[in-house]
Amino acid sequence: MGRSLKRWFPVFVLPLSLAFLIAFVIPFLFGIYLSFTRFTTVGDASFVGLSNYVTALTKDENFLRALWFTVKFTVVSVISVNVIAFLFALILTRGIRGTNLFRTVFFMPNLIGGIVLGYIWQLIINGVLLRFGVDITYDATYGFWGLVVLMNWQMIGYMMIIYIAGLQNIPPEMQEVAAIDGAGPLQILRHVTLPLVSSSITICTFLTLTNSFKLFDQNYALTGGAPGRESSMLALDIFDTFYGAVGSEGVGQAKAVLFFLIVAAIALVQLRISRKREVDV
Amino acid sequence: MKRRAANLLFFILMCVLAVIFVLPILIVLFNSFKGQFFIASAPFRLPTVDTFAGIRNYVAGIEKIGFFSALGYSFFITVTSVFLLVLLSAMTAWFLVRVKNRYTSALYYTFVFSMIVPFQMVMYTMSRMANLLGLENPVGIVVLYLGFGAGLSVFLFSGFVRSIPIAIEEAAQIDGCNPLTMFFRVIFPLLRPSAITVAVLNAMWIWNDYLLPYLVIGTRYKTLPVAVQYLQGGYGSRDMGALMAMLVLSILPIILFYALAQKYIIRGVVAGAVKG
């Protein structure tokens, strides 16, 4: 097929490749270039070397604060989402009544968009905080835990579905044999079940990790970074740097490149771990 | 016996948790029927005779954000982009897997690479590019979704194409199929399950996407998320009633779609996660 198919390049590959060139390749390369310039429009870019990066990492305290906020948020939500989702999955693979209905309900929030989710939780969290006479913009800690709750509500069902698929792949005999050998439920969980779902654990960990790290819509709608920019995560801080004030576009683009490098590093670690696992199995 | 008792306990626990999961949406729902000044001050109170606003919030919200045109734009952009993404990335993936040379593998790895690039990296330059090429309309933005969604879709399809036995294609070729008829008659039908995965993942992304439509077409054509965010308005001028009503109306199509295609959505999400 290869040889006769080759001539069909303009039909099969060209349309998508052109869109890819316009929407990704050129903007990506141009974005790297612009991070080394000062500009307000694409036309007036002047080369300034590394100064945007220096500004982003030293003079502009927002970036490092946002990075720290993002890291804390990511760690807390990765752990909480995965632990809770795994417990849900364990319960929902025991064959209790209504299992399908429960799965449907827990998964549903995942389909709702980030902006809408942000406003739903803003209403609820402000309603709770009302009793203490404050609202979510009073302190970045409220914004932080608000985001954690929101993220759990959104992601638990999704991860639960993946864990359920993993748990259902375990042959039941393995647990039965372990039980006959005298292992208690916790020992079975620790030495039989967990090792057998380790690939699901890797997948879910990295899915929550990248989703939490790149979060924008939820952050934007829930607190908008308030108070000040204290509850801004990285993506929101980059957005604010670009569009918040004229003249800082170059710094915004430099922050975006740094953001990309961190996300790429996470992806590389994930690739290595999953490659290694394929070899092991 | 012990297991049955435990299962009953778990059943009750799951019921409680299910209620907790649905509660946020119910709270928004009943608040959408309260007068706008009774919402922020007592969000957990059910509407009473005094606070009940009928469908006034819905009428106000629909008018303020132009709900039906926003729904129309969201629908048009999502359906068109998803349809073209599924078709074009299946074609591209098949070509890239079957025609092996330096250029096709370079192109393939560029597609894969684009998956790890966060949107903020190309946010500014992409919207400038759209500006330059006159893509700032509901048709033009489809090109951007094709380009930015290409990576994941081509990657997913490629994985499935590799599992198609080459013998099938050789047989079809002997029967006189040219590449185009072969693709539509033989390959694409075989890719159907993966096409569902690709369609579900892209539909969820594009329907809910905020930043891209906001930056590129937001001032003239508001999609649903952009329209909802627009209600936020300046401080003080925010109409809580209209906001609640519009939240309900934005969730409604998703719940309907979920009820109809639940099986495919969950299957698609699992297949996509395992591959990605």
- Give dist(CA B225, CA B213) in Å, integer: 9
Cα within 13 Å of Cα(B246), Cβ side: 31
Under DSSP, the state recorded for B93 is H
User: Chain B partners of A6 at a C-beta cutoff of 8 Å?
Assistant: 99
Confidence of residue B40 (pLDDT cuts 50, 70, 90): confident
Of A151-155, A207-211, B40-44, B89-93, the poorest mean pLDDT is in B40-44
Question: Residue B200's closest CA among B160, B163, B164, B153?
Answer: B153
State pLDDT tens for residues A173-200: 888 898 898 888 889 898 889 999 988 9
- Partner B contacted by A148 (CB < 8 A): no
The ipTM assigned to this model is 0.92
Q: What is the mean pLDDT of residues B196-217?
A: 94
Predicted confidence at residue A40, as pLDDT, reads: 85
Of A27, A92, A114, the CB nearest to B210: A114
State pLDDT tens for residues A27-56: 999 999 999 999 888 778 889 999 999 999
pLDDT above 90 coverage of chain A, percent: 71
Q: Is A266 exposed, middle or buried (0-12, 13-18, 19+ CB in 10 A)?
A: middle
For chain B, positions 87-106, list CB contacts with chain A under 8 A: 88-89, 91-92, 94-96, 98-100
* Structure token pair of residue A121: 């939780």
CB B94 within 8 A of CB A12: yes
Contact A92 B14 (CB under 8 A): yes
Question: What sign results for the dihedral spanned by CA atoms A21, A26, A28, A29?
Answer: positive
Confidence of residue B233 (pLDDT cuts 50, 70, 90): low
State pLDDT tens for residues A205-230: 999 999 999 999 999 999 999 898 99
CB B143 within 8 A of CB A22: yes
State pLDDT tens for residues A85-140: 999 999 999 889 999 999 999 999 999 999 999 999 999 999 999 989 899 999 99
Q: What is the mean pLDDT of residues B95-119?
A: 95
Topology of domain A51-280 in CATH is: MetI-like fold (1.10.3720)
Q: Which residues contact B12 (CB under 8 A, 6 or more apart)?
A: none
Q: What is the mean pLDDT of residues A234-248?
A: 91
Predicted confidence at residue A280, as pLDDT, reads: 54
- Is the pLDDT confidence value at B235 over 80? no
Mean pLDDT, all residues of chain B: 91
Of A2, A158, A249, the CB nearest to B99: A2
* Structure token pair of residue B65: 């954000």
Helix (H) or strand (E) holding A153, with range, is: helix A140-168
Backbone φ, ψ for residue A38 (5° rounding): -105, 130
Place of tokens 């693979």: A93
User: Chain A partners of B145 at a C-beta cutoff of 8 Å?
Assistant: 23
A 10 A CB-CB count for B211 gives 21
- Is the pLDDT confidence value at B2 over 80? no
Number of continuous H segments (helices) and E segments (strands) in chain B: 13, 0
Structural domain boundaries in chain B: 67-275
Confidence of residue A281 (pLDDT cuts 50, 70, 90): very low
pTM here is 0.93
- Give dist(CA B38, CA B30) in Å, integer: 11
> What DSSP assignment string belongs to B212-245?
HHHHHHTTTS--HHHHHHHHT-STT---HHHHHH
In chain A, the residue whose alpha carbon lies closest to the alpha carbon of B266 is: A161
Q: Which residues contact B213 (CB under 8 A, 6 or more apart)?
A: B77, B141, B221, B222, B223, B225, B226
- Architecture (CATH level 2) of domain B67-275: Orthogonal Bundle (1.10)
Mean pLDDT, all residues of chain A: 92
Confidence of residue B275 (pLDDT cuts 50, 70, 90): low
A 10 A CB-CB count for A18 gives 13
A 10 A CB-CB count for B7 gives 15
Q: In terms of pLDDT, which residue wins out, B30 or B275?
A: B30
Helix axes B192-208, B67-98, angle to 10 degrees: 140
- Give dist(CA B8, CA A91) in Å, integer: 11
For chain B, positions 125-184, list CB contacts with chain A under 8 A: 125-126, 128-129, 133, 135, 143-148, 150-151, 154, 166, 169-170, 173, 178-180, 182-183
Predicted confidence at residue B232, as pLDDT, reads: 79
Predicted confidence at residue B251, as pLDDT, reads: 94
Classify B85 as helix, strand or coil. helix
Predicted confidence at residue B140, as pLDDT, reads: 96
> What DSSP assignment string belongs to B16-61?
HHHHHHHHHHHHHHHHTTB-GGGTTT-TTSPP-TTTB-TTHHHHHH
Q: Is A70 exposed, middle or buried (0-12, 13-18, 19+ CB in 10 A)?
A: buried
- Give dist(CA B100, CA B112) in Å, integer: 16
> What DSSP assignment string belongs to B139-191?
THHHHHHHHHHHHHHHHHHHHHHTTS-HHHHHHHHHTT--HHHHIIIIIHHHT
Backbone φ, ψ for residue B34 (5° rounding): -105, 155
